[in-house]
Amino acid sequence: MPLSPTVTVAFSGGKDSTAAVLLLREQGHDVRAMTMRLGLAGEDDKLPRVETLARVLELPWDVVDVRDAFKKKVLEHFIQAYSRGLTPNPCVQCNRHIKFGLLLAALGENAPGSLLATGHYAAKARRDGRWFLQEPADRRKSQLYFLAMIDPPALEKVLFPLAALTVGEVRARVVGLPLANMEESQDICFLQGEGLAAFLQRHAPDGFAPGNFLDANGKNIGRHNGALHFTVGQRRGTGHAAGRRLYVVARDAAANTVTLGDEDDLRTGSLAAALPVYWRPLHVGEELAVKVRYGLHAHAATITETGGKRIRAIFKNPVRAVTPGQLAVFYDGDMIVAAGEITGA
């Protein structure tokens, strides 16, 4: 009987990555762990706790320094995107460039033949000679949206041990272990408890200069204290009284304007997504489901343009708050077939 391949787990010392280690061992794999040094505040205090947990698990453990790449590909990208009036998703960039890019490449150099495993709630499937991301058993916890832009061939060397488990089953497996992190992982790890506005004010102060509120027709209707305080779909916190509910429907960082409108002004019948990743070819006229933000349900849409640089689609019904900078993720059933960054309607 052939030996199971060595598997290296992207190991944060939290519940999910620890459960992944235990599950892989049960399956007979030779399991190792690799923790990324990202350069986050408090990291020097956390890494010794991760090492202690690895020692308790009798787990070969190493640290890979990705600070420079994380700063350039994730932090700086996030700040620059916000400064351009976009609402970016840093987890998408981290998965694409760091975890399933740089980390996988480092693994290939240091442990040729080893597979990479993560604690993501995700699954993979092979169809017609291609690998696809597929929804896990516990769809409430699904993290497919954050993985949609990784390089599709990378799935050949990736395992998702939690694919068939619920959150409760995962938690039960790590009871009593000295986890390095008892908290649920944050969507934006580098905020470290700091508010988004405070973070952006430190890194992009120009976005907090006073500017004009506009109505849906472009008429000046008031003043705001900085465009970066707002995001598309926001209602509370505008400080603008109009006798009815108004929402942020657009933000122009270059002009430093924020456009307010009614609920109907938030809805759009189409979207455009730039520089897409294709898991398989799309076809004009094809009907798919598309998610425009993590946690939201998918919307029926028809592909009207597909190619190397852009996807366009028309929604069956108008969709609320389609936000430039977020991800459009296209599904065929429970599998992702394409994804790209939303550029507009």
For the record, the structure tokens of 65 come out as: 């320094």
Indicate if 267-344 has the same CATH topology as 6-164: no
Q: pLDDT per residue over 121-135, tens digit each?
A: 999 999 999 999 999
Q: Picking from 64-78, 121-135, 217-231, which range would have the lowest pLDDT averaged per residue? A: 217-231
Of 69-73, 98-102, 194-198, 332-336, minimum mean pLDDT range: 194-198
* Residue-level pLDDT at 186: 56
Nearest to 229 by CA among 213, 246, 245: 213
Question: Among 266, 250, 268, which Cα is nearest to 258's?
Answer: 250
Which among 149, 144, 136, 141 is positioned nearest to 15, based on CA atoms?
Answer: 141
For residue 74, pLDDT beyond 60: yes
pLDDT tens-digit readout, 91-108 = 999 999 999 999 999 888
pLDDT at 287 over 90: yes
Q: Count of H helices and E strands in the chain?
A: 9, 17
Question: What's the whole-model pTM score?
Answer: 0.93
DSSP for 128-142?
TTEEEEE--S-GGG-
Q: What is the dihedral of CA 42, 45, 46, 49, to 10 degrees?
A: -170
Q: Please state, in angstroms and rounded to a whole number, the distance separating the CA atoms of residues 51 and 170.
A: 21
Report the candidate in 176, 144, 165, 174 with the shortest Cα–Cα distance to residue 298: 144
CB 34 within 8 A of CB 64: yes
Q: Is 91 a catalytic residue?
A: no
Q: Where are the domains of the chain?
A: 6-164, 205-261, 267-344
Could you please report the per-residue DSSP string of 281-344? ---TT-EEEEESSTTSPPEEEEEEEESSSEEEEEEEEEEE---BTBEEEEEETTEEEEEEEEEE
Of the candidates 75, 81, 91, 94, the residue annotated as catalytic is 94
Provide the pLDDT confidence category of residue 345 given band limits of 50, 70 and 90. Answer: confident
- 3-class DSSP state for residue 302? strand
Is residue 2 within 8 A of residue 25, CB to CB? The reply is no
First to last CA, the chain: 55
Catalytic-role residue among 63, 125, 189, 216: 189
Most confident of 207-216, 240-249, 283-292: 283-292
List the CATH code of the domain at 267-344: 2.40.30.10
Class of domain 205-261: mainly beta
Percent of the chain whose predicted confidence (pLDDT) is above 90: 79
- Is 6-164 assigned to CATH 3.40.50.620? yes
The pLDDT confidence band at residue 281, using thresholds 50, 70 and 90, is very high
218: DSSP letter: S
- Mean residue pLDDT of the chain comes to 92
| Cα–Cα separations (whole angstroms), residue 103 to 59, 94, 100, 247 | 18, 11, 6, 41
Tell which residue, 245, 251, 250, has the closest CA to residue 263. Answer: 245
Residue 94 catalytic?
A: yes
Q: How confident is the model at residue 3 (pLDDT cuts 50, 70, 90)?
A: low
Q: Which two tokens stand for residue 105?
A: 């490449």
pLDDT band at residue 187, thresholds of 50, 70 and 90?
low
pLDDT score at 184: 63
Residue bearing the bigger pLDDT, 159 or 344:
159
**DSSP three-state, residue 111:** coil
Find the range with the poorest average confidence among 65-69, 106-110, 183-187, 338-342. 183-187
Taking residues 256-275, report their average pLDDT. Answer: 94
Q: How confident is the model at residue 265 (pLDDT cuts 50, 70, 90)?
A: very high
Residues 315, 299 contacting (CB under 8 angstroms): yes
